[in-house]
């Protein structure tokens, strides 16, 4: 049968030129988009090991000096500290709030896009350096619980209260760092230091899971540096909370603002606002152009697929009409409807397969000209990561592209051949 | 003759419904995508309220300072730069400088405990002359307000309604970040799509709580917009250049430059970062490339289908040629016949593009300039699009032009092939 179809294609090669050219064009462009979505999907499929759902940033403002309720004595460091602690306690005592966290800067909340990076090494082997994200948090509150950090690949959720923070040298690191700095052994109780601050030694007290800075990027190693709150370091701290399970975002935010607006008027402090971190993360993706990039890519992919569908529909509709005589003979010789449809479908798939060879050659040109970029390839990640192996990725994305286009081709052939199948052999033969 | 061709085309269209549907769909799809891009660009560069004179506006937004040790600073302009180079201009109709500081504020309404968020633009009195705001009440703040740094604002109709429940608010006070501002006037809303002037409130930049006038190297946070009189853009541009050159020569510790600005308004939207130079040729060729891809993909497949369709009419072509029809005449007929289908596709595409723009307006307004950092439309803010923004002569003209180009791309080759077949072959073809 295949031989028969090949002969047919060869005999009518002039008629197949247009559709072949279109398939080739669309195959290359679709592959480009599929590659993008493959990496995006692969990244998204990896666990973030951190959860922003139901977390909120509480914006605590301070009255300006010209405000009628402003009290200068509340701006004294000791009073300010005491008031700040009262604010935290009020938040913790709210029955709708599950836990409270204090982050030292915005990079501890991936939602805002800020990233703090550092280079660390083991104190015993200073030749290997791990580049990593740095998260600074206040150990007095429960940063790890609010954001649902975990260890053992998500199996165990951790809490800041699980660890002893009395020794300021105690820190946490993530698995990727452990593998890089202490390959094959446990990092527990090992000492590490920052490359730009040799001499300041940290002691690893546990190894948590790697987290992704953004959901669409690859995971990245982390160093968690704790600090303790005192009168002098209140500035710049960011208060975040996690709401109790089962409360919807809108419900929680409305109740919280209503109840807490007056209660949080402590000293010169007031409730400036409450922002959902999940929403902020979405906004950050949008600001970084990522949301629009994904939407545009989806639109382009759809455009390509609909075009190929229409092209196949049109071409095969015509082909079925021209080959009425042949279809009539086949029917007369006992070929059933399924058989005729199969014939055309195989013809379509064969055409698609033939263009794969030139398409691959064009795609290789794409790769060598550097047009293909990997999402998050600038993340200084280490460890195995599928999209890094070019050969395998090339194979997978091309198979995916072939499959997607095959579906379109089959869909495009299905309708016109339905017409052919309905043709009476007598009518067809008379034509 | 044309009428006969069209009549015949209409009959053919009705006869070959399947072919016509596919043709119209493919054309429509391709044209709708291009039209979405065209409409978004139209919103960004054509004369739209309140930026009704964009075609005569010149923009200087960025400056660069380079030090002898190679260090460089890039930012907007300092107030002194604006004074020396822009406010001192003689030839323009009007000039304005916008203080491009973070303009997100919280407003404390008198009747509620909760704050409302809002956006503010920090402008000068020239702003109201360069841009044609429609005041429904009151007037802009005065030069005297501006000079004294008096806290006054102009507010948009919808925001006035949100805070006060009415638009008659001139003379009232509004508390912005706990500080009262007197409302001097109310203007018609500005669409979020017109982002250079969009805000809920506009106040003199001298009333900014912590105005930063910029640094001695000429850089700061101001962007200048200059409105040239009709037909005198070149003259104004020349004066701006000479002012900037003169001013730049006064620097001793660093060099100051504006990298080829002033830009005409349309070009300024592509100047995205402080360092980047904009190259009109490159921008236009990028757009042409996108256009080519969006038109090429459907045109190859449509060509194939049209080729098959014309093959079916070879016998007719043969008869026509036997009776003396010229090859050129037949080609013309085939191309014109197909034009009917292309126009129907174009119309479908245009209508579909309106739907796309309307339903996805919150993000679609951000495509097209290659902008990497875009601000999401704030919650509660609508991107209002008026009918005149979408349905206007320019948009229709682009759609028509696209139809003509696409039709030629699709039919020229098949029509040429069909009309040049030997008469015997054509006649024999059944």
First to last CA, chain B: 27
Separation of alpha carbons B104 and B376, rounded Å: 13
* Nearest-10 crossing angle of helices B17-45, B280-312: 170
CA-nearest residue of chain B to A314?
A: B305
Q: Where are the beta strands (DSSP E) in B269-425?
A: none
What's the pLDDT score for residue A427? 74
Shortest Cα distance, chain A CAs vs residue B120, angstroms: 18
Q: Using an 8 Å Cβ cutoff, are A205 and A242 in contact?
A: no
Chain B CB contacts of A296 under 8 Å are 367
Chain A interface test: which of B24, B301, B371 (most A C-beta within 10 Å): B301
Chain A CB contacts of B30 under 8 Å are 303, 307
Banded model confidence at residue A417, pLDDT cuts 50, 70, 90: confident
First to last CA, chain A: 25
| Distance of alpha carbon A38 from the chain centroid | 11
Q: Mean of the pLDDT values across residues A80-99?
A: 91
Q: Mean of the pLDDT values across residues A29-55?
A: 88
Average pLDDT, chain A: 85
**Cβ–Cβ below 8 Å for A307 and B106:** no
Q: Mean of the pLDDT values across residues B343-369?
A: 83
Greatest CA separation for chain B: 92
Give pLDDT tens digits for B335-351.
888 888 888 988 999 99
What's the pLDDT score for residue A6? 78
Give pLDDT tens digits for A52-81.
889 999 988 888 777 778 888 888 888 889
Chain B CB contacts of A22 under 8 Å are 297, 300-301, 304
Give pLDDT tens digits for B181-192.
999 999 999 988
In a domain, A423, yes or no: yes
Average pLDDT, chain B: 85
Given a cut of 60, is residue A375 above it in pLDDT? no
What's the pLDDT score for residue B375? 58
Highest mean pLDDT range out of B242-246, B403-407, B421-425?
B242-246
Torsion-angle region of residue A289: left (phi > 0), alpha (psi -120 to 50) or beta?
left
Size of interface A-B (CB pairs under 8 A): 110
Of A229, A253, A259, residue with least CA distance to A84? A229
Gyration radius (Cα) of chain A, Å: 31
Please, which residues have CB within 8 angstroms of residue A179's CB and are 6 or more apart in sequence?
A: A382, A383
**Exposed/middle/buried for residue B266 (C-beta within 10 Å: 0-12, 13-18, 19+):** middle
Shortest Cα distance, chain B CAs vs residue A158, angstroms: 34
**Cβ–Cβ below 8 Å for B363 and A299:** no
Q: Mean of the pLDDT values across residues A273-289?
A: 81
What's the pLDDT score for residue A374? 61
Give pLDDT tens digits for B229-250.
999 999 999 999 999 999 999 9
**Cβ–Cβ below 8 Å for B29 and A272:** no
Q: Which helix (H) or strand (E) holds B351?
A: helix B327-359
**Exposed/middle/buried for residue A315 (C-beta within 10 Å: 0-12, 13-18, 19+):** buried
Given a cut of 80, is residue A196 above it in pLDDT? yes
Banded model confidence at residue A379, pLDDT cuts 50, 70, 90: low
SS (H, E, C) chain A: CHHHHHHHHHHCHHHHHHHHHHHHHHHHHHHHHHHHHHHHHHHHHCCCCCCCCCEEEEEEEECCCCCCCCCHHHHCHHHHHHHHHHHHHHHHHCCCEEEEEEECCHHHCHHHCCCCEEEEEECCCCCCEEEEEEEEEECCCCHHHHCCCEECCCCEECCHHHCCCCCCCEEEEEHHHHHHHCCCCCCCCCEEEECCCCCCEEEEEEEECCEECCCCCCEECEEEEEECCCCCCCCCCEEEEEECCCCCHHHHHHHHHHHHHHHCCECCEEEEEEEEHHHHHHHHHHHCCHHHHHHHHHHHHHHHHHHHHHHHHHHHHHHHHHCHHHHHHHHHCCCCHHHHHHHHHHHHHHHHHHCHHHHHHHHHHHHHCCCCCCCCCCCCCCCCCHHHCHHHHHHHHHHHHHHHHHHHHHHHHHHHHHHHHHCCHHHHHHC
Shortest Cα distance, chain B CAs vs residue A393, angstroms: 26
What's the pLDDT score for residue B312? 76
Considering CB atoms only, which of A288, A313, A315 is closest to B373?
A288
Banded model confidence at residue B377, pLDDT cuts 50, 70, 90: low
Highest mean pLDDT range out of A228-232, A281-285, B80-84, B409-413?
B80-84
Give pLDDT tens digits for B311-332.
777 888 888 888 888 888 888 8
Q: How many CB atoms lie within 10 A of CB B430?
A: 7
Banded model confidence at residue B92, pLDDT cuts 50, 70, 90: very high
- Three-state DSSP at B100 gives coil
Residue at token pair 């996108």: B290
Q: How many CB atoms lie within 10 A of CB B166?
A: 10
Separation of alpha carbons B214 and B79, rounded Å: 6
Separation of alpha carbons B260 and B240, rounded Å: 11
Of A276, A251, A261, A227, residue with least CA distance to A61? A261
Report residue B321 as tokens.
């040629």
| Distance of alpha carbon A361 from the chain centroid | 30
Please indicate if any CB of chain A lies within 8 Å of the CB of B355.
Answer: no
The interface pTM score, or ipTM, of the predicted complex is 0.74
CA-nearest residue of chain B to A256?
A: B114
- Per-window interface: B 198-257 vs A, CB < 8 A: none
Residue at token pair 């000039």: B95
Torsion-angle region of residue A49: left (phi > 0), alpha (psi -120 to 50) or beta?
left
Domain range summary for chain B, segments of one domain joined by +: 2-48+281-428, 102-207
Banded model confidence at residue A381, pLDDT cuts 50, 70, 90: low
Chain A CB contacts of B296 under 8 Å are 25
What's the pLDDT score for residue A126? 84
What's the pLDDT score for residue A325? 77
Please indicate if any CB of chain B lies within 8 Å of the CB of A22.
Answer: yes
Given a cut of 80, is residue A13 above it in pLDDT? no
Separation of alpha carbons B74 and B64, rounded Å: 5
Q: Mean of the pLDDT values across residues A256-279?
A: 86
Query: A159-196: buried (b, 16+ CB within 10 Å) or exposed (e) per residue?
Result: ebeebebeeeebbbbbbbbbbbbbeeeebeebebbbee
Chain B CB contacts of A318 under 8 Å are 19, 305, 308-309, 312
- Per-window interface: B 362-401 vs A, CB < 8 A: 363, 366-367, 371-376
Separation of alpha carbons A138 and A52, rounded Å: 18
Q: Which domain holds residue A371?
A: 2-47+288-430
Residue at token pair 């379509």: A348
Give pLDDT tens digits for A200-246.
889 999 999 988 888 888 888 889 999 988 888 888 888 999 998 88
Gyration radius (Cα) of chain B, Å: 28
Give pLDDT tens digits for A288-346.
667 777 888 888 889 888 888 888 888 888 777 777 777 778 777 877 778 888 888 88
Separation of alpha carbons A46 and A49, rounded Å: 9
What's the pLDDT score for residue A8? 76
**Cβ–Cβ below 8 Å for B29 and A286:** no
Q: How many CB atoms lie within 10 A of CB A370?
A: 7
Report residue A405 as tokens.
């286009």
Of A428, A417, A423, residue with least CA distance to A339? A417
Shortest Cα distance, chain A CAs vs residue B371, angstroms: 8
Q: Mean of the pLDDT values across residues B137-150?
A: 92
**Cβ–Cβ below 8 Å for B29 and A306:** yes
**Exposed/middle/buried for residue B370 (C-beta within 10 Å: 0-12, 13-18, 19+):** exposed
- Per-window interface: B 27-46 vs A, CB < 8 A: 29-30, 33
- Cα separations in angstroms, A377 against A220, A227, A325, B326: 11, 32, 57, 61
The number of folded domains in chain A is 1
Shortest Cα distance, chain B CAs vs residue A240, angstroms: 20
Cis ω on the peptide bond leading into residue B50 (within 30° of 0)? yes
Considering CB atoms only, which of A64, A262, A291 is closest to B178?
A64
Residue at token pair 């919103």: B43
Separation of alpha carbons B238 and B219, rounded Å: 22
**Cβ–Cβ below 8 Å for B301 and A318:** no
Separation of alpha carbons B214 and B205, rounded Å: 13
Q: Using an 8 Å Cβ cutoff, are A379 and A4 in contact?
A: no
Given a cut of 80, is residue A256 above it in pLDDT? yes
Dihedral pair phi/psi, residue A409, rounded to 5° = -60, -45
Residues in chain A: 431
Given a cut of 90, is residue B423 above it in pLDDT? no
Please indicate if any CB of chain A lies within 8 Å of the CB of B178.
Answer: yes
- SS3 percent helix, strand, coil of chain B, rounded to 5, is 50, 15, 35
Given a cut of 80, is residue A424 above it in pLDDT? no
**Cβ–Cβ below 8 Å for B376 and A307:** no
In a domain, A152, yes or no: no
**Cβ–Cβ below 8 Å for B376 and A286:** yes
Separation of alpha carbons A98 and A103, rounded Å: 17
DSSP 8-state secondary structure symbol assigned to residue B68: T
| Distance of alpha carbon A167 from the chain centroid | 36
- Three-state DSSP at B78 gives coil
Q: Mean of the pLDDT values across residues A89-97?
A: 91
**Cβ–Cβ below 8 Å for A314 and B305:** yes
**Cβ–Cβ below 8 Å for A66 and B179:** yes
């Amino acid at each position: 049968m295949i031989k028969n179809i090949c002969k047919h294609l060869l005999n009518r090669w002039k008629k197949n030129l247009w559709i072949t050219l279109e398939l080739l064009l669309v195959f290359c462009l679709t592959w480009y988009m599929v590659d993008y979505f493959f990496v995006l999907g692969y990244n998204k499929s990896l666990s973030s090991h951190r959860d922003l759902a139901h977390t909120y940033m509480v914006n605590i403002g301070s009255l300006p000096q010209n405000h009628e309720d402003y009290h200068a004595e509340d701006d004294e460091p000791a009073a300010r500290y005491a008031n700040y602690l009262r604010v935290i306690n009020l938040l913790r005592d709210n029955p709708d709030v599950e836990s409270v966290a204090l982050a030292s800067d915005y990079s501890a909340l991936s939602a805002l896009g800020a990233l703090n990076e550092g280079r660390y090494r083991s104190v015993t082997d200073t030749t290997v350096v791990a580049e990593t994200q740095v998260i600074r948090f206040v150990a007095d509150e429960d940063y790890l619980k609010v954001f649902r950090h975990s260890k053992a690949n998500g199996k165990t959720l951790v809490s800041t209260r699980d660890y002893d923070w009395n020794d300021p040298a105690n820190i946490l690191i993530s698995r990727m760092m452990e593998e890089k700095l202490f390959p094959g052994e446990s990092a527990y109780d090992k000492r590490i230091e920052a490359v730009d601050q040799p001499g300041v030694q940290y002691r690893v007290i546990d190894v948590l899971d790697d987290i992704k800075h953004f959901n669409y990027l690859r995971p990245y190693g982390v160093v968690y540096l704790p600090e303790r709150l005192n009168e002098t370091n209140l500035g710049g701290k960011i208060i975040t909370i996690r709401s109790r399970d089962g409360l919807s975002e809108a419900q929680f935010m409305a109740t919280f603002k209503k109840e807490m607006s007056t209660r949080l008027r402590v000293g010169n402090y007031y409730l400036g606002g409450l922002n959902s971190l999940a929403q902020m993360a979405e906004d950050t993706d949008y600001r970084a152009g990522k949301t629009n990039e994904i939407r545009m890519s989806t639109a382009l992919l759809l455009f390509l697929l609909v075009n190929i569908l229409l092209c196949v529909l049109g071409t095969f509709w015509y082909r079925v009409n021209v080959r009425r005589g042949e279809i009539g003979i086949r029917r007369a010789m006992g070929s059933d409807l399924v058989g005729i449809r199969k014939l055309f479908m195989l013809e379509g798939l064969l055409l698609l397969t033939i263009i794969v060879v030139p398409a691959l050659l064009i795609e290789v040109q794409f790769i060598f000209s550097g047009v293909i970029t990997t999402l998050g390839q600038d993340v200084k990640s280490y460890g195995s990561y599928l999209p890094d192996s070019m050969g395998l990725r090339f194979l997978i994305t091309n198979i995916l592209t072939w499959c997607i286009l095959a579906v379109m081709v089959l869909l495009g052939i299905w309708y016109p051949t339905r017409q052919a199948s309905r043709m009476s052999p007598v009518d067809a033969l008379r034509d | 003759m044309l009428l006969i061709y069209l009549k015949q085309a209409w009959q053919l269209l009705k006869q070959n419904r399947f072919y016509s549907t596919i043709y119209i769909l493919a054309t429509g799809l391709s044209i709708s995508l291009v039209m979405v891009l065209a409409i978004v660009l139209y919103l960004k560069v054509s004369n739209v309220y309140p930026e009704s004179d964009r075609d005569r506006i010149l923009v200087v937004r960025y400056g660069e300072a380079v030090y002898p040790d190679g260090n460089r600073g890039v930012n907007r302009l300092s107030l002194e730069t604006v004074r020396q180079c822009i406010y001192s201009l003689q030839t323009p109709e009007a000039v304005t400088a916008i203080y491009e500081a973070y303009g997100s504020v919280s407003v404390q309404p008198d009747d509620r405990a909760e704050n409302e968020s809002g956006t503010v633009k920090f402008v000068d009195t020239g702003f109201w002359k360069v841009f044609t705001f429609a005041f429904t009440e009151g007037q802009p703040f005065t030069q005297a307000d501006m000079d004294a740094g008096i806290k006054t604002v102009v507010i948009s109709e919808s925001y006035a309604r949100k805070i006060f429940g009415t638009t008659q608010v001139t003379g009232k006070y509004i508390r912005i970040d706990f500080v009262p501002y007197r409302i001097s006037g109310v203007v018609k809303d500005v669409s979020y799509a017109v982002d250079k002037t969009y805000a809920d409130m506009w106040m003199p930049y001298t009333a900014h709580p912590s105005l930063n006038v910029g640094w001695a190297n000429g850089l700061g946070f101001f962007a200048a917009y200059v409105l040239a009189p009709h037909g005198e853009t070149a003259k104004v541009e020349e004066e701006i250049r000479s002012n900037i050159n003169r001013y730049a020569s006064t620097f001793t510790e660093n060099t100051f430059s504006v990298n080829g600005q002033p830009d005409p308004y349309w070009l300024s939207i592509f100047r995205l970062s402080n360092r980047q130079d904009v190259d009109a040729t490159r921008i236009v060729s990028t757009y042409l490339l996108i256009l080519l891809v969006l038109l090429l993909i459907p045109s190859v497949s449509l060509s194939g289908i049209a080729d098959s369709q014309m093959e079916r009419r070879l016998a007719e072509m043969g008869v026509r040629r036997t009776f003396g029809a010229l090859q050129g005449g037949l080609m013309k007929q085939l191309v014109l016949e197909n034009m009917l289908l292309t126009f129907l596709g174009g119309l479908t595409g245009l209508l579909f593009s309106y739907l796309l723009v309307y339903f996805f307006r919150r993000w679609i307004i951000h495509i097209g300039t290659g902008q990497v950092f875009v601000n999401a439309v704030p919650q509660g803010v609508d991107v209002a699009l008026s009918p005149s923004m979408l349905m206007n002569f320019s948009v229709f003209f682009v759609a028509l032009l696209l139809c003509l180009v696409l039709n030629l791309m699709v039919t020229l080759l098949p029509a040429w092939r069909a009309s040049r077949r030997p008469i015997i072959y054509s006649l024999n073809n059944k």
